[in-house]
Structure formats: C-alpha cells, structure tokens
C-alpha cells in the first residue's frame, strides 16, 4: 500500500521531533549516567527551548503536539528499558505548550505560560510516579525524612509541603527562562542568512525505521497478560499478606526474565538495587511506628519498605516487558490502517533526520557544556536539512 506523503506541518514537526529526541538521547543519557537528580527538569527545559525556538522559524499551528508525539514515539523504540514515563512526559509537555499558544495566541505571554506549565509538570509527574510506584507510604517516608534533614540543617520555618511548593515555584521560573531563551534563540535563527553552501547534501540514516529483531516473539495475549498482572499485582498488596503478594510477583518476575532476558538489563544495574536498599533502610527506621515521633528500627518498618520495593520492582519489570510487546507490528499496522499513514510518513522523515540532528547538536561538543548556546546552530541545520529533503523529494 502506497504511503501518504507527510503534509508540510508534519514534515517540520518530524525534524523538530527528531531534534528533540536527539537531545533526549545525547544529554539525557549523559545526565542519567552521572546521576544528576534533576535530569527531568533539565531535559524539559531544553525541550521547551527547542519547541519555542523552532516555532519562531516555523510558526505552524499544531507544530508542538506533533513534534511531541514524534519525539515520544522515537523515545519508545530506544534501547532504554523503561520509557513509558518519559513518553508520557514528552507528550504532555508538548500539549501544554500547544494549549497555551492556542489559548493566548502566538505571543511572548503564551510561550512563557506554556514553558512554565511544561517544566513544572515534571515535578508533578515525579510525585505521581513515586506514589504509584511505592504507594502512599512514600509520602509519610518523605515527611519523616524531611523532618530529620531539616532539623540537621537547622531549617525551622519551611515545612515538608512548603518545600515541595518551593521546588514547584523553581520549576516555573526555569520554564519561564527556557521559553524566553527559546524566543531569543529562535528569532536569532530566523534572522540568520541562508546557508546555501552544503545545504543540498542530505544526511540521513540507513533506514527509515529501526528494524525489529526477527527472533522477537510478539504476542497480543502476552501484552494483555502483563497489563492484568500489573493491575492485579498492585491490588494484591491490599488483598493478600505480604508473603503471598511476594510469592506471586516472584513467579511473575521469573517468567519475565525467562521470556525477555535482553529487555530487563536494568535489573543488573547496581543503582537500582542501591535505591531499593536505601528505601528499605529508611522505611525500617522511619515507618515502623507512625505514632512515635522518635525514629527507630523495627520489623514493621522493614515490612513496609519491602512492600514499597516490591511495588517498584513490579513497575520496573512490568513496563519493561510491556515496552517490548507494544512494538508488535500488528499493533503498529492497526494504527496505520486507521488513517495514520501521514504520521507514519513523518516518522520515516524523523528517523532519516536523526543522524543529522544528533550531529548538529553535538558539533564541537558544545551541547553538553552549553546546551542552549548550541541550539541556534542546530535549528539552522535542521532547516537546511528539511529544505534539502523537500528538494530531493
């Protein structure tokens, strides 16, 4: 079946989404590897800057959500083991910027409002994800831990909830600055003279979409099974004793490791087990006797920590294997048959542009040390690439 060519707005969104995905791959991997705790905020602010800057060059209606959708899908087929949270975050960030511009018009106030909402959403997503992963006990654990830390640092006037509000306010400020930077960067890129020389050389990847390992065994039934186990596993903690829930989940983990050995490499990372150990240790000392104001080790606290870690392990393993099954060609084909062939064509463009967009970002290695300074050249390179692509097409 002949694929429908992508409309102009989809072609531009493909290049912007590919540029955004390059930032997620290059800078995101670097920050995660060195353990930066505010990686989500940094990546969201760079994403906002890229979106707003690109809109100064291509002021197309619907550019933001299309670029976010493409970036999210490109993130979904990356080698990362757990990507659903990142996909959701990317898509919602783009929708927030899109909504602000649709509501207030194409002006500075709209960009700033959208940027503030998009970056501050990362904190909301983190809190919701922590509660979903570890259960509501994580709230009490945070409160107890904050009280001890605040007492140690002599902080008497800021409560645990107020500290969260301060973080939220900081994210809003960062979002405003990211949007303002995007406006300045985009206008600078739009005013720059055309770089005709070399713009007709089209750098593209060897394939429009990455190939799937032929040995991968996809199954709709397995996808449904994993969804049911994730939901049932969460309910098991309230319906069964801890040892019963642990037994069921241990059997599920064994099945997943046997069926998806290459997709659960995150379980081999020491950082995950260190995180589990820290949660168990803190819970043992802080959550054993919730009525007592003095922390102390207890078996009941250890049981709470164990439950929290089992919930976290279920999320890690469950979503890792789900991210494999959703790549089933039958599922992808179902969406394309439902009239999404234009989106599929845009994805082809995005993956063709990915090598060039990555090279544009990391040129001179400035993107790691000065990411915002590297964005104007990257956008101009993206514009050159798109012109060359359209000329050849």
Tokens read off for 290: 């919730």
Q: Whole-angstrom Cα distance, residue 359 to residue 180?
A: 25
Please report how many Cα atoms fall inside a 13 Å half-sphere around the Cα of residue 71, on the Cβ side. 36
Please report how many Cα atoms fall inside a 13 Å half-sphere around the Cα of residue 328, on the Cβ side. 16
In a domain, 360, yes or no: yes
DSSP for 71-88 reads HHHHHHTSS-S--HHHHH
User: What's the CA dihedral at 48, 50, 56, 61 to 10 degrees?
Assistant: -70
Asked whether residue 163 falls in the same domain as residue 44, the answer is yes
What is the sign, positive or negative, of the torsion defined by CA atoms of 55, 59, 64, 67?
negative
Please report how many Cα atoms fall inside a 13 Å half-sphere around the Cα of residue 177, on the Cβ side. 10
Distances (CA, A) of 210 to 34, 74, 79, 332, 339: 28, 10, 11, 13, 22
- Of residues 258 and 157, more confidence is placed in 258
Asked whether residue 32 falls in the same domain as residue 60, the answer is yes
What phi and psi, each to the nearest 5 degrees, are found at residue 208? -70, -40
pLDDT digits (tens, 9 = 90+) for 37-74: 778 888 899 999 999 999 998 988 899 999 999 998 88
Confidence of residue 2 (pLDDT cuts 50, 70, 90): very low
pLDDT value at position 286?
A: 65
Q: What is the mean pLDDT of residues 304-327?
A: 78
Share of the chain above pLDDT 70, in %: 74
Helical axes 371-392 vs 8-34, angle rounded to 10°: 140
Residue pointed to by tokens 């930077």: 181
In a domain, 2, yes or no: no
What is the sign, positive or negative, of the torsion defined by CA atoms of 353, 346, 21, 230?
negative
pLDDT value at position 373?
A: 66
* Final residue of a structural domain among 325, 360, 381: 325
Q: What is the mean pLDDT of residues 177-194?
A: 84
Asked whether residue 100 falls in the same domain as residue 178, the answer is yes
Asked whether residue 363 falls in the same domain as residue 244, the answer is no
Q: Whole-angstrom Cα distance, residue 226 to residue 204?
A: 37
Q: What is the mean pLDDT of residues 358-362?
A: 71
Confidence of residue 320 (pLDDT cuts 50, 70, 90): confident
Contact 18, 354 (CB under 8 A): yes
pLDDT value at position 216?
A: 67
Tokens read off for 135: 């259960």
Helical axes 160-191 vs 108-134, angle rounded to 10°: 140
Domain count, the chain: 2
Query: Of the ranges 10-19, 169-178, 199-208, which one carries the lowest mean pLDDT score?
Result: 199-208
Domain that holds residue 51: 8-212+339-392
Q: What is the mean pLDDT of residues 230-236?
A: 83
* Final residue of a structural domain among 270, 299, 325: 325
pLDDT value at position 294?
A: 55
Q: Whole-angstrom Cα distance, residue 11 to residue 347?
A: 9
In a domain, 1, yes or no: no
In a domain, 333, yes or no: no
Q: Whole-angstrom Cα distance, residue 282 to residue 337?
A: 51
pLDDT at 103 over 90: yes
pLDDT value at position 88?
A: 86
pLDDT at 36 over 80: no
pLDDT at 78 over 80: no
Q: Which residues contact 284 (CB under 8 A, 6 or more apart)?
A: 297, 298, 301, 302, 305
Asked whether residue 148 falls in the same domain as residue 201, the answer is yes
pLDDT value at position 23?
A: 82
pLDDT value at position 336?
A: 66
- Of residues 52 and 311, more confidence is placed in 52
pLDDT value at position 386?
A: 85
Asked whether residue 355 falls in the same domain as residue 208, the answer is yes
pLDDT value at position 292?
A: 47
pLDDT value at position 385?
A: 86
Asked whether residue 182 falls in the same domain as residue 226, the answer is no
pLDDT value at position 359?
A: 73
Confidence of residue 182 (pLDDT cuts 50, 70, 90): very high
In a domain, 236, yes or no: yes
Confidence of residue 25 (pLDDT cuts 50, 70, 90): confident
pLDDT digits (tens, 9 = 90+) for 108-160: 999 999 999 999 999 998 888 888 777 777 888 878 777 777 777 777 777 77
Alpha helices in the chain (DSSP H): 8-34, 39-57, 63-76, 84-104, 108-134, 137-153, 160-191, 220-239, 242-259, 270-286, 299-325, 329-337, 341-362, 366-369, 371-392
Share of the chain above pLDDT 90, in %: 19
- Of residues 5 and 39, more confidence is placed in 39
pLDDT value at position 291?
A: 45
Q: What is the mean pLDDT of residues 349-357?
A: 79
Distances (CA, A) of 385 to 20, 25, 170, 381, 392: 15, 20, 36, 6, 11
Mean of the per-residue pLDDT values of the chain: 77
pLDDT value at position 237?
A: 78
Nearest-Å Rg of the Cα atoms of the chain is 23
pLDDT at 295 over 90: no
Q: Is 45 exposed, middle or buried (0-12, 13-18, 19+ CB in 10 A)?
A: buried
In a domain, 291, yes or no: yes
Distances (CA, A) of 276 to 61, 123, 164, 340: 45, 21, 23, 41
Nearest to residue 173, comparing CAs of 40, 27, 41?
Answer: 41
In a domain, 332, yes or no: no
Query: Of the ranges 25-34, 67-76, 192-201, 335-344, which one carries the lowest mean pLDDT score?
Result: 192-201
Q: Whole-angstrom Cα distance, residue 209 to residue 333?
A: 14
pLDDT at 390 over 80: no
- Give the SS3 label for residue 208: coil
Asked whether residue 25 falls in the same domain as residue 151, the answer is yes
In a domain, 276, yes or no: yes
Nearest to residue 389, comparing CAs of 259, 206, 200?
Answer: 200
Confidence of residue 5 (pLDDT cuts 50, 70, 90): low
pLDDT value at position 129?
A: 81
Nearest to residue 88, comparing CAs of 99, 98, 75, 101?
Answer: 75
């Amino acid at each position: 079946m002949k694929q429908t060519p992508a409309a102009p707005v989809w072609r531009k969104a493909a290049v912007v989404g590919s540029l955004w995905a390059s930032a997620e791959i290059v800078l995101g991997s670097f920050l995660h590897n060195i353990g930066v705790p505010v990686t989500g905020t940094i990546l969201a602010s760079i994403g906002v800057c890229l979106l707003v800057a690109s809109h100064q060059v291509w002021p197309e209606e619907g550019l933001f959500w299309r670029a976010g959708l493409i970036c999210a899908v490109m993130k979904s087929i990356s080698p990362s083991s757990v990507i659903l949270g990142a996909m959701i975050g990317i898509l919602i960030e783009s929708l927030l910027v899109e909504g602000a511009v649709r509501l207030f018009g194409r002006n500075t106030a709209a960009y700033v409002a959208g940027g503030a909402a998009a970056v501050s959403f990362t904190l909301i997503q983190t809190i919701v994800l922590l509660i979903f992963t570890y259960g509501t006990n994580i709230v009490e654990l945070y409160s107890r831990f904050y009280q001890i830390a605040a007492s140690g640092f002599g902080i008497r006037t800021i409560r645990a909830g107020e500290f969260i509000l301060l973080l939220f306010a900081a994210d809003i400020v960062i979002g405003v600055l990211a949007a303002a930077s995007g406006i300045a960067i985009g206008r600078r890129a739009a005013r720059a003279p055309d770089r005709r020389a070399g713009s007709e050389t089209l750098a593209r990847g060897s394939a429009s979409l990455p190939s799937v390992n032929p040995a991968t065994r996809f199954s709709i039934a397995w996808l449904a099974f994993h969804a049911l186990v994730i939901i049932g596993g969460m309910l098991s903690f309230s319906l069964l004793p801890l040892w019963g829930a642990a037994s069921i989940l241990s059997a599920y983990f064994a099945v997943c490791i046997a069926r998806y050995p290459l997709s659960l490499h995150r379980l081999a990372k020491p950082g995950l087990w260190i995180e589990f150990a820290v949660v168990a240790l803190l819970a043992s000392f802080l959550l054993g006797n919730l009525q007592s104001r003095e922390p102390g080790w207890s078996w009941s606290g250890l049981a709470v920590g164990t439950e929290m870690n089992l919930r976290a392990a279920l999320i890690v393993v469950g979503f890792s294997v789900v991210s494999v099954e959703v790549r089933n060609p039958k599922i992808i084909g179902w969406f394309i048959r439902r009239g999404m062939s234009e989106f599929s064509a845009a994805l082809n463009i995005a993956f063709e542009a990915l090598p060039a967009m990555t090279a544009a970002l990391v040129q001179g290695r400035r993107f790691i040390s000065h990411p915002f300074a590297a964005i104007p050249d990257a956008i101009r390179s993206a514009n050159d690439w798109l012109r060359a692509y359209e000329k050849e097409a």
